[in-house]
Amino acid sequence: MPTPIPFHFDFSSPYGYLGSEKIEALATRHGRTVEWHPMLLGIVFKTTGSQPLTSVPIKGDYAKRDMERSARFHGVAFRLPSKFPIATQAPARIVLWQREHDAAGVGRLVHALYRAYFVHDRDIGDPEIAADVAGEAGLDRAAARAAVDDPVVKDALRREVEAAIAKGVFGSPFVFVDGEPFWGIDHFDQVDRWLAQGGF
Amino acid sequence: MPTPIPFHFDFSSPYGYLGSEKIEALATRHGRTVEWHPMLLGIVFKTTGSQPLTSVPIKGDYAKRDMERSARFHGVAFRLPSKFPIATQAPARIVLWQREHDAAGVGRLVHALYRAYFVHDRDIGDPEIAADVAGEAGLDRAAARAAVDDPVVKDALRREVEAAIAKGVFGSPFVFVDGEPFWGIDHFDQVDRWLAQGGF
């Protein structure tokens, strides 16, 4: 079995969303699967001293333009949500809870949540809305809603974020190919060549 | 005459160096020329609250690995200099001075200075070494050395940096295609398509 590709992302990250729409086709082309790892970038930003791109002077205006342009470049539907950025504990916890029950279905859930936010402008940071989206994606809505407040799931997310930071994840999207780290959808061309050649 | 492509760069920027090795072929493919604009990123970083990539916790280790990997990916010789980052007033001033005298020769000078630093580990932040490299590239060494301390050239660099910031330049490399801004060698695929299609 070839090693799966861990895909680390924050539900509030536009480039994470764009990456989520491209990573499966990229992995499949090389006989790989994707492992979905929700991340809380706010915690990393405290360590790296970063802040959300759109809040940075000068860079912020460019970032908004680039997000929309990059979406068109990659052929992905995108609208910068009216509330941005958001706290993403709720959707991240639902994803972790789902991963325990149906690992194969996680990709579909991630897409549903990401598209709800970045295409349909629904505030998935709100536990009720995140649970609605999970329900529409075929999950048990009540169970998904309960997972958001479940101490076991909360703890699982805490450990998931710690593990990601320990691996060196500091942005979104962030993937590993056989241990080699790549940050950003901009590096998917390097990911592609790394997968094809086993390094370069 | 098609509009030239302004290429903004800091001589201390590894990705600026990689971009400088690729931009002319890219521009030429679309019948364009390159306009070289040296930049002092330190001044921008004060505004954006950024710092050199390699100094950022967690991100710094990734950055070093990525610089070397990106150089291999793009087929460009690269070695992280033993002194990094450096202040780049000296090479930037020599480039501005040269641009006044021989605009067509500026590309050759930029390449000579960048390669001296990122291939041959010569500290081009030192005015004597920057002048040496300029001399080896065919310029009048003494005149190049004098330019570094020339108040007129100093003032020209100050205005150059202010003008770049006013245009929204906050990183290196940074290019414009008919006014559309692109940051990073990672976006050269978007630059390529923008040039081919006149936007997307």
Distance from CA of B25 to the nearest CA of A (A): 19
To the nearest whole Å, the CA of B2 is away from the closest chain A CA by 23
Which pLDDT does position A59 carry in this prediction?
84
d(CA A4, CA A176): 9
For the cut 80, the answer to whether the pLDDT of residue A55 exceeds it is: no
Structure token pair of residue A6 = 């861990």
Residue B21 tokens, joined: 């090795």
In this predicted structure, the answer to whether residue B147 has a pLDDT above a threshold of 90 is yes
Checking phi first, is residue A15 left (phi over 0); if not, alpha (psi -120 to 50) or beta? alpha
Provide the number of CB pairs (under 8 Å) joining chain A to chain B. 73
In three-state secondary structure terms, B73 is helix
Distance from CA of B178 to the nearest CA of A (A): 15
A62 touches chain B (CB under 8 A): yes
CA distances from B81 to A166, B69, B168 (A): 28, 15, 28
> Are B62 and A181 an interchain contact pair (Cβ–Cβ within 8 Å)?
yes
Query: Whole-angstrom Cα distance, residue B100 to residue B79?
Result: 31
Residue B43, pLDDT score? 86
pLDDT digits (tens, 9 = 90+) for A68-110: 999 999 999 999 999 999 999 999 999 999 999 888 899 999 9
Query: How many other C-beta atoms are found inside a 10 Å radius of the C-beta of residue B95?
Result: 26
Q: How far apart, in whole angstroms, are the C-alpha atoms of residue A128 and residue A86?
A: 14
Tokens of A145: 């809603």
Q: How confident is the model at residue A45 (pLDDT cuts 50, 70, 90)?
A: confident
Section B136-143 average pLDDT: 97
Q: What is the β-pairing status of strands B34-38 and A34-38? A: unpaired
The predicted-structure confidence for A128-172, as pLDDT tens digits, reads as follows 999 999 999 999 999 999 999 999 999 999 999 999 999 999 999
> CA triplet B48, A78, B195: central angle to 5 degrees?
70
Residue B184 tokens, joined: 């990073």
Burial of A187 (0-12, 13-18, 19+ CB in 10 A): buried
**Alpha-carbon distance B66 to B77, whole Å?**
14
CA-based nearest residue in chain B for residue A70: B190
| Of A48, A165, A189, Cβ closest to residue B56 | A48
Q: What beta strand segments (E) does chain B contain? A: 5-9, 34-38, 174-177, 180-183
The band of A2, judged by pLDDT with boundaries at 50, 70 and 90, is confident
Tokens of B132: 């040496």
Q: Which of A61, A70, A181 sits opposite B168 (nearest CB)?
A: A61
Percentage with pLDDT > 70 across chain B: 97
Range scoring the smallest mean pLDDT among A38-52, B102-116, B138-152: A38-52
Phi and psi at residue A53, to the nearest 5°: -50, -45
The pLDDT tens digits for B27-79 are: 999 999 999 999 999 888 877 767 666 777 778 889 999 999 999 999 999 99
Nearest Cα neighbor of A172 from A28, A52, A66, A78 is A52
Predicted-assembly ipTM surpassing the 0.85 threshold: yes
Confidence of residue A179 (pLDDT cuts 50, 70, 90): very high
Q: State the residue for tokens 């450990």.
A: A159
Query: How does DSSP assign A142-186, residue by residue?
Result: HHHHHHHH-HHHHHHHHHHHHHHHHHT--SSSEEEETTEEEESGG
pLDDT attached to residue B45 = 80
Would you say residue B120 has pLDDT above 90? yes
User: What pLDDT sits at residue B124?
Assistant: 98
Q: Is B97 in contact with B147 (CB distance < 8 Å)?
A: yes
Which pLDDT value is given to residue A152? Answer: 98
pLDDT above 80 for B8: yes
Tell me which chain B residues have a C-beta less than 8 angstroms from the C-beta of A50. Answer: 56, 59
pLDDT at A58 over 90: no
Length of chain B: 200
- Name the residue among B31, B14, B22, B13 with its Cα closest to residue B178: B31
CA distance B46 to chain A (A): 10
* Helix A141-149 with A151-167: angle, nearest 10 deg: 70
